[in-house]
Chains A and B, each alone.
Chain A
């Protein structure tokens, strides 16, 4: 059988006589002979040609695919050349993927509690300042000083019932969503839309108590560790690539972050309620607010974005409403009618545009990976 032989030292083509017997491919070219044992061979058949290579060699033999099948008929099978990797490789990679998933979905969440408690307060305080600076450029503080003062006063009354490691600093901000966030280091933000949506000050107080509970239990730092740990590991596996598959994996990582937030939410409801009771306030606002948010999701589709934003970050609705109803108690109103009016006016002051940039980011999810330059003038208002 005839073929072309390239010896791997230069690009000259040699006519070669090929024999395949006793598990050895013999190549005779230019008076010399080369014996290639079948175990070291691989063949790539494409476009009517068979390209035979030997392990760790640059030499190649090329012959027609028909000749190759004739030559190897009845002989031991020659390995097909492929870079795709065998079953062993795939199994190994699947195992690595499973381990990664276990670490991300189980290991990191388990470790996040101890890690959060071990994080020095000073670190968390600095981190909180950094986050606060970044977020205030996106969600500027509401201008109504009097309203901010009322809100901080309510925060102080609730914080007095808590064992928070940080002073609680509450602020109403402009943001296109109904939500409230606790940042690291005791910063609590409540959006203008949430204040507008609340029908009584008790509802705002309930939300505020819930967020202060997050601070006291250091859930915020836990969440930071979870997203850092899980996010970094997934980023590492995925390699920061922009392919659709890679983005899907990163999204799954963020979804897991949501599910682990649920236990923390339930705990914060309970703890927050205990602050309300200890401060002598009514805790009926909590279930009232949850219920209305749930009803609105169904009734008012034009609000769907804002409301679903709330539920994305505060999941497990029905159970939480039930628990809130079961445990609620009467008490004093959180604010006098006059203070309530002042607070409601805090974000609707005349002459400001009232909205931050149209952001689709979900604050509190994976914040702070890109430190943004802050504008100090936007910060000065509530300090």
Chain B
């Protein structure tokens, strides 16, 4: 009977392993190159175990049809209570389809954790919120004056919830058996999020690019793979300009808005029937029952048609900005000497967005898992790293939160 070692893995305990701790100087003797398709090691730069990072993906969008249908069905028969487990299984399948140096990532979260997190969040938030609603309805409408602080609190909570969701997901992501961990303060992130909303209100959105980087920094500078720190470099992030694409999106939206209003006014003014129709609706007694008015349906169809046309147009003028944000943030991140570059182009991102929206609309949201898979595939395929990182040296991180900090899922805003 071979000796059993304790693979408890809850904390780094190298002395309990059956074998001697791996000497960092001699990894290649322990790991024959034929066994591991590790990325080319680069002994010239940095330490001897440094590796360049190569991302690849085995994700196939079509593999996600079946799970979309199964999740959809189970969500129906359980009044959507199944969603925590369904979402977890989708994450697991997306994660394992992403590879770094030809080793897959793994998602170790469980549906139960999301569920418990959701129950806790519902109790902690739902009960006070209901008390507020009851106070307004039954006791004194003056309680409604609490709405302003409540709105601000909701902004804060949104940011807080997002950060805790990131923290949970990091702790449930492993590569080569080593967890990611996100330190940092969720309340601080919440305040920054709240600050962004307020500042955006005063600047008509023009402060947004500044906050994109501030928020990304809060996440990336606090993220570690095991005990290896990611770092944030503001200057490198700023090497990808955001304000040019932002101006394009902002001014373009304004232009579309103005053109749409002018078009509507011209249409309404040139069409007497249209106004007459409105009048007859307003005062049925002056316009006794006539036949059906096809104009109404034409107008409704026209409005929906315009929205469907405008959506891709809006996505198009904003896509340079969205792509620049992706590039800017990935440029700001580094791990040891490895730097990242997400080669997302405006047109490819625009196409991804439009096709995603179309698939979601046509499937009534059912094919969400498929959207996640193809989005992940899009990102991983464009992710490159230069320089080397000492990944093999990473030691295990402390275990993450016991349950999902369920705010994000309680409000349904964690899309992944």
Contacts and interface: CB of A to CB of B under 8 A. Distances in A.
A355 B5 contact: no
A368 B137 contact: yes
Contacts of A237: 79-81
A244 to B, nearest CB: 4
Contacts of B296: 302
A57 interface: yes
Contacts of B174: 58
B366 interface: yes
Contact of A245 (B76, B111, B138): B76
Nearest to A373: B144
Nearest to B58: A47
A11 interface: yes
Interface string B130-170: 10010011111100100100000000000000000000000
B2 interface: yes
A31 B78 contact: no
B215 interface: no
Interface of B: 1-5, 7-10, 12-14, 17-20, 22, 27, 30-32, 35-36, 38, 58, 70, 72, 74-83, 85-86, 88-89, 91-93, 96-97, 103-104, 106-107, 109-111, 118, 122, 126, 130, 133, 136-141, 144, 147, 174-179, 225-226, 281-285, 289-293, 296, 364-366, 368, 391-396, 409-412
Interface of A: 2, 4, 6-15, 26, 28-36, 44, 46-47, 49, 51, 54, 56-60, 62, 82-85, 89-90, 93-94, 96-97, 100-101, 123, 126-127, 129-130, 133, 176, 193, 196-197, 232, 234, 236-246, 248-249, 296, 299-303, 306, 348, 354-355, 368-369, 371, 373
Given A10-B395, A196-B284, A244 B175 contact: no
Contacts of B82: 85, 90, 93
A10 to B, nearest CB: 5
Given A10-B396, A28-B2, A84-B86, 19 more contacts: A4-B36, A7-B19, A11-B177, A13-B27, A13-B31, A14-B19, A15-B30, A33-B2, A33-B4, A34-B4, A49-B104, A83-B111, A89-B85, A237-B81, A239-B80, A241-B80, A245-B76, A245-B365, A301-B292
30 contacts: A7-B7, A11-B226, A12-B30, A13-B27, A15-B30, A29-B18, A31-B18, A32-B3, A32-B5, A32-B19, A35-B4, A46-B93, A47-B104, A57-B7, A83-B91, A89-B111, A90-B74, A127-B138, A196-B283, A196-B284, A196-B285, A197-B284, A237-B79, A238-B80, A239-B410, A244-B366, A302-B292, A306-B284, A369-B133, A371-B144
B106 A58 contact: no
Contacts of A90: 74, 77-78, 82
Contacts of B140: 126
A234 B32 CA distance: 57
Contacts of A248: 76
B22 A240 contact: no
A354 B282 contact: yes
Contacts of B122: 236, 239
A237 B394 CA distance: 41
Contact of A13 (B38, B81, B285): B38
A58 B179 contact: yes
Nearest to A10: B395
A236 B177 contact: no
B89 A84 contact: yes
Contact of A240 (B36, B83, B395, B410): B410
A130 B85 contact: no
A234 B195 CA distance: 33
Given A10-B14, A83-B109, A242 B412 contact: yes
Contacts of A299: 289
B39 to A, nearest CB: 12
A354 B18 contact: no
Nearest to B140: A126
A176 B281 contact: yes
B282 A355 contact: yes
Which of A26, A33, A299, A303 has its CB near the most chain B CB atoms (within 10 A)?
A33
A246 B412 contact: yes
Nearest to A125: B138
A218 B61 CA distance: 56
A129 to B, nearest CB: 7
Given A34-B4, A243-B80, A354-B283, A2 B75 contact: no
Contacts of A13: 27, 30-31, 35-36, 38, 103, 176, 392
A244 B290 CA distance: 38
